Structure 1
Amino acid sequence: MVKRHSSNVFVDRLAYSRHSNGVMTACQVPAALIHQIQEELDKEEEEMMVFLCRDLAPDLATADLREILAALNEREKLSPVGLSELLYRVKRFDLLRRILNTEKATVEAHLTRSLRLVPDYRVLMVEINENLEKEEVGSLLFLLRDYTPRMKMAKDKSFLALVIDLEKLNLVAPNQLDLIENCFQSIHRIDLIRKIQNYKHKALMSSVHSQPVYVNARPASLTNLNLIDPPYNSGIQNGSKEKLQNGLNHTLAEPVPMSIQESGSASHKGTDEPYRMQSQPLGICLIIDCIGNDADVLEETFRGLGYDVHCHRYLNIATMKQTLLDVASLQQHRNYDSFICILVSRGSHQGIFCTDITCSGFPLEQIKNYFTPDSCPGLLGKPKLFFIQSYIVPENEQECTSLLEVDGNDKNIVTKVIIPRGADIFWSHCKVDASTLEKSSTSCSYYLRCLAELLRDPYIRKLTISDIHTELNGRVYKWNETAEPCQQYSLLLQHTLTKELFLFPT
């Protein structure tokens, strides 16, 4: 006798064969089991499950969960495997184990190789619902007043209930999500826009391969961001404004199946496990401001984020190198979950001068070498973020420093960039002509000011650091639209992060 794996017992236990005498088939489950599961679910979980089943029983749109599951069971649409998928989608992994005697990994394996019960569109909406705060749903309801004046705008309406109302008005459908995207743009939820764009991308790929569109494709939220974000051009022509504002298209990649997280906060969590950010403090934030205009705001901002801030002003190169060495040697890194370094200085395109006047400068490339695993073992596998503001001192011949993506055919663009070596590095480098300091010696960097404002925003700070930087790109672009050429900022982002990174406890 062949011994079966214990995780498949639930299929054996619930499998029946129906002949002419009316005995249940393997496509059905006992009514007592449906009752038991329904009793275990709370009101919100019932709402999610009803929403997931909406396309499976369109004639039962107003029925409760028990009626819908019973009807699907009678119609032989609710197999034990399908029931396990529904529990998986609402993250009731405890019921999978206790009632269906299976594991989350078993269900995931089935979903990767077989057709799913629930359409991807429904899965996407449920995932978005779980990632929205109550206040954000209220904002969506307000924004949609212009589109749905006759819709009942109850204050306690859930996002899923809102979607159903929009579906009834033909404003939202599996292939019609622009309205929701626009609303997410208004409340700065770029992460949710990315979910929708990945869903659309997979639907397009499915269509190209002549497979069913929007239904039973890969899970809609399973994204795999590029390790290196494309550079953006500060001198973008007007025609590329839309490209930058919707620049998330540049980061879409073929999705990779991941498991749904079983523990921790569900808020804004993708299916990729993010970097661990639970230490107190979250890490050391080293600020070296050789200009003296930004340190106070930056220190307050990162201290508010939960970092142990070490702030230094007006260092020469020798002192800066010693400071980097001293900070990299701190044993506290072993107990912390991340590291941030912010440098503000005059310099050249590839180096910084600090307060020194006559020198060749210190290569920017070498700064991160102080914090590699060899130099700083305590930061192995942990995210290391660098924000550099360089005030470029002109040379004999002005060099084009535009590093943002350009829409035209400008052949003078400098394409040489500094690419971080090693994993877990986030490198944001902003350049502006040093003449901006001569015009206003006390004004802070627009780049760093916007960064601080974004990190202080209670909604935007919930995004991943990559999404926050996308917002930062947009603000720099708008500044450059009206600024004089010598006051335009060029912004470069390169990173080798291997997970999503949130700058708050996760």
Structure 2
Amino acid sequence: MGDDISLNFRQKLLLIDDNLGTEDVAALKFLCLDLIPFKKLESAQSALDIFQLLMAEEYLNEEDTFLLAELLYRIKCHFLLQKLNYTKERVQEYLPEKGRVSPYRQMLYELAENITSDMLKEIIFLLRDHLPKRQPIFSALKLLILLEKQGLLTESNVKMLEEICTSVSPDLLETVNSYKREKVSLPRQENTLPIKESAQPGGTKVFSSPQETSIKSVSSKINGHYGEESRSLWEHVGNVHSLPTRQDDKAGNVVQGISEVNLNLELPAEFISAKNESKKLTSYKMDGPKRGFCLVINNVKFDGYLGERKGSCKDAGELKQVFTWLGLEVEIYKDQTAKEIKDLMEIWQDSEKHINRDCFICCILSHGESGAIYGKDGELISIRTIMSYFTAKQCPALAEKPKLFFIQACQGQKIQCPVYVEPDAQVPKLPSVQQKISPFESIPEEADFLLGMATIDGYASFRHVEQGTWYIQALCSKLQLLVPRGEDILSILTEVNEDVSRRADSLGKKKQMPQPAYTLRKKFIFPVPRDPPPSQQH
């Protein structure tokens, strides 16, 4: 019996390893630096190697998997927690008592998550006299490890880190200051877990007594208590109806260009024309020989217990019509396994396909979980993994070009209920739905990505068995209505939010709220097509 349990445990670890990319492995190694000697970690090439080291140090076994759950939680691979019988809420509940990643290590990791590639270049330039001459530095984590190795950065000495943040981006300084405040204000607590000897990157042995703390940072602001014990393996299909599209909708411009935000209001009158010219420069270049490719992955029938997604072909057909009208070359792939989706991403990351093209769009229609979608074989693949194939490093031909991903899939099984407001009544307090995290955790740190999610994390999305999904139908409708008006994509998605939020099932009890996230640096505006929208073509 024991051997069966051990085999089952190792199979779970194998599945987790299969869903972790190179960046995830680097993050795991970094978070384990206070627990495992650096020399041992340095030789780890995969997540399985790290799991083996954790088991050897008695941090991980089949009876106690919390440390691994904590690590997955901190690198935001929440969809993998279910393989260890955890949820985000359970991990958050146990962190104050059982957390092993020190506040110091948390602070460094959160800081690294918010250091952009441009910031990293500036930091390397500032520290050129302190860094190895011939050792390339491709990530913020690598940089922090080098600083620790040389003793320039320790748990009790973050002065150099403060100076760097002040010079490069004062916003980063708040993360370090929060750590310092918490370090001073938190009383020493008796550790309920055994204290283990570990080695810092520099080789100095230390004793770690980790405590959980609420470090204030960008990621802590978007990480709330969310998720459920039970997970949805189906997409809700009911007797739903759509509200008629308003033809007089006018999208508000919700995003200001970079030059508008930084505009000096005291500019003399002769520079007004320069100001107007600068507005034109805030949009992505969309006048190349070819617009680009649009991939549509449409999973309808699934192996095993996942139900058929009736009505999804209606969505796929409309996406093809609309994006073809917008000038993209549309390719549709039906009923793809998780591995086949990864293989497709590898094929389409080939830079030769994207030379002389303005953008790249990928639409995925499937069942889903928090931060992940299902292949037809019932295997999960994280949204972040899918998008990471098209970073500037993996696909140079798309560097500095907009990359748009639209995901139609459930992110859980919770149902959003309507909040009824009387005209003369006090507006009730918004439910916790409004406080859920954004899908930013699914987006690669690099610029020029947009991720449009059909629903917020933890909640279901809805699909009519004949008319298609609320989200995709609203997206196609608003693109046809607002692209001819010259609206940018974020304004259009705001209108999509408004459209979907007004829809409900036939009983008026089920609602849905889409959510976009982006690292776009400029406005994304489709050129107005010469032909009328597909909905007006006969």
What TM-score, normalized to structure 2?
Answer: 0.41
Name the larger-Rg structure.
Answer: 1
Superposition TM-score, scaled by structure 1 size: 0.44
